A and B are shown apart, each in its own frame.
Chain A
Amino acid sequence: MVLDELKIGGLGSSRRRVEDDRFIRGKGNYVDDIVLPGMLHMEILRSPVAHARIKKIDTTRAWDMPGVRLVLTGEMMAARNLAWMPTLSYDTQAVLATDKVRFQGQEVACVVADDPYIAKDAIEAIDVEYEVLPAIVSPEQALAPEAPLIRDDKANQQDNVIFDWEVGDKAGTDAAFARADVVSKIEMHYPRSHPSPIETCGSIADFDRATEKLTVYMTSQAPHIIRAAVALVAELPEHMIRIVSPDIGGGFGNKVPVYPGYVASILASILLERPVKWIEDKTSNLMSTGFGRDVYLQGEMALRADGKILAVRMHTDSDHGAFFSDAQPSKFKIGLMHSTFACYDIPTAHLTAKGVYTNKAPGGVAYRCSFRVTEAMYFQERMVQAAADDLGMDQAEFRRRNFVRDDDFPHRTAFGFLTDSGQYGKCLDVGLEAIGYEDFLKEKEEAAKRGKLLGIGISTMTEPLGAGNSREYDILGIKMFDSAELRVHMTGKAILRTGAKTQGQGHETTWGQIVAHELGIPAEDVLVEEGDTDTAPFGMGTYASRSTPVAGAAVSMVARKIRAKARKLAAHLLEASEEDIEWELGRFHLRGDPSRGVTIQECAMAAYSNLPDGLEPGLENVAYYDPPNLTWPFACYIATVEVDPGTGVWDVLRVVAVDDCGVRINPMIVEGQIMGGLTEAYAMANMQFITFDEEGNCIGGNYMDYLLPTAWETPGFELHEVVTPCPHHPIGAKGIGECATVGGPAAFVNAVMDALKGHDVRNIDMPLLPDRVYKAMTERTDVSGAPPLRME
């Protein structure tokens, strides 16, 4: 009797989540839930100004307060060579400021005390004298000839430029533009945003003088990278460092970098020889930790009159804040921006990118995104809509005409990526059908007669998820592979550990499903553990939707290694040669006689009790997986909106999402990821951004200013799917966690712009706040959202 894969929780089963059992009881174990004996509490004093020279720091009053154990300043850090630390992008970042503060919210001093209330009191008692300098809050200001030099700490830095980078074919692109019938141009700003998981960042450092071992419990999406970084920064032996990521209350890229608070808590624990806990408050999290986006685009498309795109030319200026600490593969300065237009068949393209320092928080992280792919696809789909409008073509038809065709794979994009599969036209058709495209266009026309503004926005894209391969992708030189270790016990139950780290994605549930698929061991018999560097195999962590493409593939591969050994055990048990044994799910049998067989569980028992001569005991293995390519999920998102002509307020009428992420391991979890992503897309289009005034004050540094949609505003979502298995992934899966965040924003913005057709507006920068929409409509003008924010 062949096992029913769905019954054992294998691939395609919407198995309910294992981790939920503790979360719904309030028994999760987040970092702030951990209490160690003798633990002290750390708070950070942050700069109130964006740019200033530090004249003096006086900590006397703080030291004198009862319950204060330690006050750390930049000077004390410098004495231990810890005032600066390397970033993930080969720059340096201040741990505690010594010379200058370079953004509002920068870490200036720390207090460690018996409880956080005392630590907070003591922070107030530190006196700092600042000499305030002019603040820079945009690339335009940073590049102005008279701009003050932000990074005067760096010997060879003469200006505020971090990099000038280019990719593509300039000559070919220029030639194509010379031949174009129409050139379509658009400029826009993708505003600064923050991943803002509900749980902030934090750590508990616990240095044990007796064993010389340092244990750090922390909110990290990539604990092994942190272990390596701590070994390098603090010059501690790597085997004496244990990083534990317990349950994480959401990450979205925010919990990838190394933050000064982690480093300071480690030093404090070493100095005091007691555990030191640091839990950030929300304001600190929003003002100082890894932001996303903040990129300006100048985009141009060369078009033929019949709608064919001949070439694309793009220039981006990106604002990285005071330190270049983007968490991204080292080869690419502006992440994977050049994955833009990957779903379109474009003969030639050229991208130039300039990155600058400003007096804003550092940390361009891949916010629910694969390294700037979110900007890449937003720019692409806004440019596509503008081009269709310029040609007077239907926006769906324009896309269809330029898609890479289903039989054109593998396809080399104009910027050099290799896409391996796709059914873009079908995906679009499913979306159009679901939304009722033709009917909506009629309805829109009718509504216009009654003075109502309806709009429909489409966004189609394919994006590269799941870095590496390791030839091209590394972080600080560490190759981007991943790992899985599987130990099958003698009763056929198993424990699986990977180098990834779940933060809500449900690895404890889905990894078991892959094992069930590969070995026929029921998913419920597989315990999944992640996040402890003492026990998990080395891996690069979870971000950029890389878990399923890389670690998930490693799970398949390690299970296949186990199966290969089990086959030898089966041959031994069945007294046959290996070649005469056949595999069916969960069982080996004799070729030609399916009735004579042994289950995987019987093989497991034999591995510990009945071995053939010469075979190693045990049924355990580890696999390191280096993917041959990225995975290329694709999607079509369509939104319909109604804009109120009297106020500029817009309401979402419907949202249709069609996603192709290949084989779905757990459809329920996949859909959960898509809906979460759509909500962030809606948030960015509608309300969520961080900006700065002329003095460099952060606007959006708390939840009263940084608006996140609630259940009330968030629209309902209609989900559809197309399935094109990934040709190189062992089970045909692709990344999915970020697609909707990447592709979604353009659907909303395109819909509002569609509603405003005829108002002479080409672009409104996100978020499309009612006042911006109103201004665009009534003054018939584009509206920029670039800082500085001026109060009118």
Chain B
Amino acid sequence: MTSLFEEITPEASGDVPTRKITISINGEQRSANVEPRLLLAHLIRQGFKLTGTHTGCDTTNCGACTVLLDGEPVKSCTMLAVQANGHEVTTVEGLAGPSELHPIQEGFKDEHGLQCGFCTPGMMLTAKALLDRNPDPTEEDVRWALAGNLCRCTGYQNIVKAVLWAGDKLRGEADGGEES
């Protein structure tokens, strides 16, 4: 009996019904044989060993598991891995290259937008989807966009500031100019 939970193998193990799926994760094509009931969050965390995606609840409320599916935020605890077959998934590990930071990451650090850090990856990915769609959001836009992500530590004010900071920086970059 092979545990399909942690040992995701390209070949089926034989004694459990599985389906072969292929996902582009952070730009890399990965294939896996998975049980149809395996949650996407678990495939990402245990199968692909990308533990920056967290799980905090069992009712799709907390958003700690948020990833981007073809650029849209989804709660990976509420999606089956097989549903992501053929799609592009971005996790926190894919926000920037190993030695660089995305402006959203910089913003969270600079504005003290995190404390325990558990909600942070989900928050940042939701923020990324917002800024991709709306590069110059108001505070209200940011608060509304983040309403599916719970944070228990910060009281949100600094998270909102962090997202606005990142928006400013990204627009500055897009204009090709330095920020004042």
Contacts and interface: CB of A to CB of B under 8 A. Distances in A.
Interface of A: 16-17, 19-28, 30, 32-33, 35, 39, 41, 66-67, 114-118, 196-200, 247-250, 252, 281-283, 503-506, 668-669, 671-672, 675-680, 702-704, 708, 710-712, 714, 716-717
- Determine which residue in B55, B61, B116, B147 has the highest number of CB atoms from chain A within 10 A of its CB, and name it: B116
Contacts of A250: 115-116, 118, 152-153
- Determine which residue in B55, B56, B109 has the highest number of CB atoms from chain A within 10 A of its CB, and name it: B56
Interface of B: 1, 3-6, 15, 35, 37-38, 45-46, 49-59, 61-62, 64, 91-93, 101, 105, 108-110, 112, 114-121, 124, 142-144, 146-160
A88 B35 CA distance: 43
B154 A30 contact: no
Given A199-B54, A199-B56, A247 B117 contact: yes
Nearest to B94: A26
A775 to B, nearest CB: 28
Contacts of B56: 198-200, 249, 282
Contacts of B156: 679, 710-711, 714
Contact of A711 (B64, B114, B115, B160): B160
B109 A16 contact: yes
A708 B155 contact: no
A702 B1 contact: no
Nearest to B115: A504
A677 B114 CA distance: 14
A42 to B, nearest CB: 13
24 contacts: A20-B114, A22-B117, A23-B117, A26-B93, A28-B117, A30-B51, A67-B1, A117-B37, A198-B152, A199-B118, A247-B116, A252-B152, A503-B116, A504-B117, A669-B112, A675-B157, A676-B115, A676-B155, A679-B154, A680-B152, A703-B61, A704-B61, A714-B143, A714-B157
Contact of A30 (B54, B115, B146): B54
A621 B42 CA distance: 44
Contacts of A678: 155
B155 A26 contact: no
Contacts of B35: 117
A571 to B, nearest CB: 42
B155 A679 contact: yes
Which A-B residue pairs are the 7 nearest by beta carbons? A26-B52, A23-B117, A249-B118, A504-B116, A115-B5, A504-B115, A26-B92
Given A115-B5, A249-B56, A704-B59, A711 B147 contact: yes
A282 B155 contact: no
Contacts of A668: 112
Contact of B91 (A26, A252, A679): A26
Contacts of A675: 154-155, 157-158
A710 B93 contact: no
Given A25-B93, A250-B153, A711 B117 contact: no
Given A249-B118, A710-B146, A711-B160, A26 B53 contact: yes
B6 A115 contact: yes
A217 to B, nearest CB: 14
Nearest to A247: B117
Nearest to A710: B147
A727 B74 CA distance: 52
B140 to A, nearest CB: 9
Nearest to A669: B112
A18 to B, nearest CB: 10
Nearest to B38: A117
B52 A711 contact: no
Contact of B50 (A22, A26, A197): A26
Contacts of A41: 5
Contacts of B53: 26
A24 B115 CA distance: 11
Contacts of A200: 56
Given A198-B150, A702-B59, 9 more contacts: A20-B109, A24-B120, A25-B52, A117-B5, A199-B116, A675-B157, A712-B146, A714-B143, A717-B155
A27 B53 CA distance: 10
A93 B93 CA distance: 42
Contacts of A717: 155, 157
B118 A282 contact: no
Nearest to A681: B155
Nearest to B15: A66
Contacts of B55: 32
A14 B55 CA distance: 31
Nearest to A704: B59
B124 A24 contact: yes
A197 B152 contact: yes
Contacts of B62: 198, 282, 703
B17 to A, nearest CB: 13
Nearest to B56: A198
Given A197-B116, A711-B142, A26 B153 contact: no
Contacts of A712: 143-144, 146-147
Nearest to A28: B117
